[in-house]
Chain A
Amino acid sequence: AQKITQTQPGMFVQEKEAVTLDCTYDTSDQSYGLFWYKQPSSGEMIFLIYQGSYDEQNATEGRYSLNFQKARKSANLVISASQLGDSAMYFCAMRGSGGSNYKLTFGKGTLLTVNP
């Protein structure tokens, strides 16, 4: 079974500062993928960034980077230079391999508020 844990129900950050959203995972699969999604108040799910378990470098997409520490089973999202539009719910998710390859398992999310 796969499990995603997001321990921060809510986070606050000042505009233009960096923020790290925590995510730890548990799986017995050797090959897996880790995802971060953003859900603004409008409700849609927006894909942000992906990290494969065999990727040697941390994934980056613009202001988003994923701090992947495989031995610690963590996949933290780092948002640099926060903007007011970054205020949203953020979900960490993973996809395993084999029989669980098709399924995304989500954490409970972190609500990020960016203050001006």
Chain B
Amino acid sequence: NAGVTQTPKFQVLKTGQSMTLQCAQDMNHNSMYWYRQDPGMGLRLIYYSASEGTTDKGEVPNGYNVSRLNKREFSLRLESAAPSQTSVYFCASSEVLQVGGYTFGSGTRLTVV
């Protein structure tokens, strides 16, 4: 089925470790996003890519880097994980002028100990 695929679904890291969250979409969307969800905070934008070759900071970019590898793939990297980065991470994609919603991946539950 068409959609947004995130890997892994679950991950436990030790403080200071690094990891990359992968995201791929097969809907030929131009724009892709990374959000984090924390209890009581809703979803907050970390980084986004309006189109292939561009990336921009969102509301909470500190401690993260992103790469728009191609039109399909948008990865999120934690260089030195901290307990404050324990969260559920969602990748999403959309067309800029699409009437309707964004398509979200199923999420990655990350725990940093």
- CB neighbours of A105 from chain B (8 A): 45
- CB-based nearest B residue for A45: B104
**Cβ–Cβ contact A104 & B102, under 8 A:** yes
Q: How far is the CA of A50 from the CA of B100 in the complex (A)?
A: 6
| B74 on interface, CB distance cutoff 8 Å | no
Most chain B C-beta atoms within 10 Å of own C-beta, residue among A45, A50, A109: A45
| A91 on interface, CB distance cutoff 8 Å | yes
**Cβ–Cβ contact B96 & A91, under 8 A:** no
Contact A50:B101 (CB < 8 A) given known A102-B96, A107-B42: yes
Which of B31, B42, B99 is in CB contact (< 8 Å) with A91? B42
| A37 on interface, CB distance cutoff 8 Å | yes
Chain A-chain B contacts (Cβ-Cβ < 8 Å), number = 53
B104 to chain A: closest CB distance in Å?
A: 4
Q: How far is the CA of A50 from the CA of B107 in the complex (A)?
A: 22
Contact A35:B101 (CB < 8 A) given known A43-B107, A45-B90, A103-B33: yes
**Cβ–Cβ contact B107 & A102, under 8 A:** no
Contact A50:B41 (CB < 8 A) given known A43-B107, A102-B50: no
B31 to chain A: closest CB distance in Å?
A: 5
Q: Which residues of B contact A (CB under 8 A)?
A: 31, 33, 35, 40-45, 48, 50, 58, 88, 90, 92, 94, 96, 99-104, 106-107
Q: Which residues of A contact B (CB under 8 A)?
A: 4, 9, 33, 35, 37, 43-45, 47, 50, 52, 91, 93, 101-109
